[in-house]
Chain A
Amino acid sequence: MADTELEVRERPPAAAPEPSEPAPRVDRVTSIRPAPRWPHLDVRELWLYRELLGTLVWRDVAVRYKQTSIGVTWAILQPFLTMVVFTFVFGRFANFPSKGVPYPIFTYSALLPWTYFAGAVALGSASLVSNKALVTKVYFPRVLLPLASVAVPIVDFLLAFVVLVGMMVWFQTWPSAAIVLAPLFLAMAIVAALGVSLFLTAVNVRYRDVPYAIPFLMQIWLFLSGVVYAINALPEKWQWVLALNPMTAVIAGFQWGVIGTSAPDLDKTLLSIGATAVFFVVGLWYFRRSEPRFADTI
């Protein structure tokens, strides 16, 4: 377990020759001890396992597109159809504010990071339980599972992004210079999704209620993230409250760069960044603390 106190000391090959092993040998000493009271993340070990992370991401992506009959189309269809529905319901009938850009492009550009986030949390929170066979049979840093899961929907995001480009041409909407910051806002979505996933997947090992709670949680979260209406049209007080939700800053920031809407407030964005950091640290701490028991209770 990564949570056992693990010391890996590497030394040059011993003097004794090894006829059966042509490759140079590294004398690695692993020491396994009971789980420490205060968990920490062994970054060095994660680095040693980077290839496995790549393999896990590749597996999930490959399986995702093999199992479905229309494969790639799903990645585009889901946000696109949601956009159509939202445009009719919220754009036409309810007349929700959309920062002065055509409602379809407003909501679609918000749905992109949102769909990523919701997908990442759904996959990430199930990552330990759905890989039960691995967790109970082989050792590797368990953090790799949620980490791989939140990486997988990035592929869908990129596919759906192509459609956004098409829509931008159609609606004559152009990006602003802040587009260089868009990847940073997406990184924020990834970190937030990872934090939530780490927490929920560890909870899911013990309580199988999590998959039932997720659709509900995501539905509410969607309406608190500025996907269907522009957050900056709300009273100031509520904007501050919603800034605690990292996705408000992610969506506002992404739209600022990509479709050239007004810049988000710096102070509210900083609050969101702080909230993201808290999500991540709390999620990681809870995950690492529960980790020694995963194989026994899963």
Chain B
Amino acid sequence: MNAAIGTYDLSKTYRIGELHSAYGTLRDSLAGAARRFAHRERGSHYEEIWALRDVSFEVPEGQVLGVIGKNGAGKSTLLKILTRITTPSAGRVELRGRVGSLLEVGTGFHPELTGRENVFLNGSVLGMKRQEIQRKFDEIVEFSGVEQFLDTPVKRYSSGMSVRLAFAVAAHLEPEILLIDEVLAVGDAEFQRKCLGRMEDLSGSGRTIVFVSHQMQAVTQLCDRVILLEQGSVLLDGPSNEVVAQYLQEIGGSSSTRVWPDAHTAPQDEFSRLRSVRVVDEHGETVDALDVREPVGIEIAFTVQRADGPALFPKIKLWDARRNVIFNALDTDSRWEAPAAPGDYTTTAWIPPNLLNEGLVTVDAGLASIGSPKLRPHAGCVDAVSFHVQDLGEGDTARGRFTGQVQGVIRPLLDWTTEGR
């Protein structure tokens, strides 16, 4: 019983229907009840899904635990139970010490109140005593860097400013157990570094931290141990490097090809249908991971189903691991200016070498037509495929001989000219 956090056979079920149409009107509900009564299907109406299933682990005091997994694996549910926002359906949790949580920075910020007032409001909501906030007030303000706007209502702040202030408050919580969900994805690069530093300070001071994130780099850097969740259960539990590596391999290995053999379940609309999306190298082979010095192709196979549709063209959108849009691109070839004849097509978009930064890249692929003000989407798939960009560090890429993390959404290899001696 010396663990700071212990979960024992923790499970949480949701009834389907609760997740999606979470609330309705009284009328809908009465109508539903009447329908169920009429069809004598009482009780069998709801289907249960397990958001968490028999999750057991212990976190010793002072350990920094990372929790990773795909969307819907149960990471957020786990954190919501640990923070007591929601109740488990079965099992129990033991927490030793004061618990602080950062599920989202700026919780409880009120736009009409000034920065100063919001520091007190937010601190109080996060569980700090008024006295404690007063004591740390100067420190918080200094950390945030918004001194001169303290008496301005937060609604006049830029989003960056309010995020900085919010994070500053949160970073000065000093509980024994800190639960964090993806807060590092905020602010500019310098501020992120500051936040990362603050988290390292906190973890160094003997606090127990649970960190849920999609950012594998931050997870490996901060955590001693990582738990990989899949469909609500613990799939892997071990040293962070090993678990992260295995996870990356797994998601990379299974996601560089997407094929829809069944015409009924493929992404489609009345005019078009996707058949497959692949990540390919210059020889046309499917690849999961690529050297940053090589071009990469996104191959989209699709079918035009009707001749009377709008002028369709293929389109891709690339995301980095932090869910930043890297770029949007569409095929500008003149052949797509008029509606294409019905039939099968295969298009490959070539991304030049030395452009993408290292890490996981996720691709949305599909067809679109010109609309106003936005493109009109047709058959398309979000997160269709993903791949890893690697740099072997041989000195001939944009990173040169630098070995640290290169920031930025892209990392082009530029031509530099120098004059003078």
Contacts and interface: CB of A to CB of B under 8 A. Distances in A.
Interface stretch (A32-40, A91-99, A234-242, A243-251): A32-40
Given A1-B85, A32-B84, A295-B85, A63 B90 contact: no
B112 A63 contact: yes
A133 B93 CA distance: 24
Contacts of B124: 51-52, 55
Interface in A263-298: 292, 295-298
B322 interface: no
B401 interface: no
B174 interface: yes
Residue in A20, A133, A139, A206 whose Cβ sees the most chain B Cβ within 10 Å: A139
A296 B23 contact: no
Interface string B97-129: 111010110011010110001001100111101
Contacts of A1: 84-87
Interface stretch (B24-32, B229-237, B261-269, B363-371): B24-32
B8 to A, nearest CB: 10
A171 to B, nearest CB: 39
B197 interface: no
B94 A34 contact: no
B81 interface: yes
**Which secondary structure dominates chain A's binding surface?**
mixed
Interface in A76-105: none
B342 interface: no
A138 B206 contact: no
A51 B123 CA distance: 11
Contact of A25 (B22, B176, B205): B176
B86 A55 contact: no
A31 B94 contact: yes
B174 A21 contact: yes
A18 interface: yes
B96 A3 contact: no
Contact of A296 (B18, B29, B126): B18
Contact of B86 (A27, A31, A292): A292
Contacts of A52: 124-125
A30 B112 contact: no
Contacts of B205: 20-21
Given A29-B96, A32-B95, A138-B107, A62 B113 contact: yes
Given A25-B176, A52-B125, A33 B92 contact: yes
B378 to A, nearest CB: 34
Interface residues of A, number: 44
Contact of B88 (A26, A34, A63, A133): A34
B23 A139 contact: no
Nearest to B19: A296
B20 to A, nearest CB: 11
B18 A297 contact: yes
Nearest to B51: A296
B25 A209 contact: yes
A262 interface: no
Given A1-B84, A34-B89, A298-B22, A27 B121 contact: no
A139 B108 CA distance: 12
Residue in A52, A62, A63 whose Cβ sees the most chain B Cβ within 10 Å: A52
Contact of A30 (B26, B91, B95): B95
Contact of B125 (A26, A55, A67, A209): A55
Interface residues on B, range: 35 or more
Given A18-B206, A296-B18, A31 B83 contact: no
Contacts of A33: 88, 92-93
Interface string A54-83: 010001001100110000000000000000
A292 B84 CA distance: 10
A55 B120 contact: yes
Interface in A5-26: 6, 18, 20-21, 25-26
Contacts of A207: 23-26, 29
B60 to A, nearest CB: 14
A3 B87 contact: yes
B25 A29 contact: no
A298 to B, nearest CB: 7
Contacts of B153: 66
A296 B86 contact: yes
B323 interface: no
Given A34-B89, A134-B125, A295-B86, A209 B26 contact: yes
A205 B26 CA distance: 11
Interface string B205-218: 11000000000000
Contacts of A55: 120-121, 124-125, 130
Given A138-B85, A139-B83, A32 B22 contact: no
A207 B23 CA distance: 6
Given A1-B85, A32-B95, A209-B25, A140 B110 contact: no
Interface string B120-144: 1100111101100000000000000
Contacts of B127: 138, 140
Nearest to B153: A66
A137 interface: yes
11 contacts: A1-B86, A27-B97, A28-B96, A30-B84, A34-B90, A133-B108, A137-B104, A137-B108, A138-B85, A209-B27, A295-B86
Given A20-B205, A32-B82, A134-B125, 17 more contacts: A4-B88, A18-B206, A26-B98, A31-B94, A34-B87, A51-B130, A55-B125, A62-B113, A137-B103, A137-B108, A138-B85, A139-B83, A139-B84, A140-B125, A206-B29, A207-B24, A209-B27
Interface of B: 14, 18, 22-27, 29, 80-99, 101, 103-104, 107-108, 110, 112-113, 117, 120-121, 124-127, 129-130, 153, 174, 176, 205-206
Interface of A: 1, 3-4, 6, 18, 20-21, 25-35, 51-52, 55, 59, 62-63, 66-67, 133-140, 205-209, 292, 295-298
3 A-B pairs with least C-beta separation: A20-B205, A32-B93, A139-B84
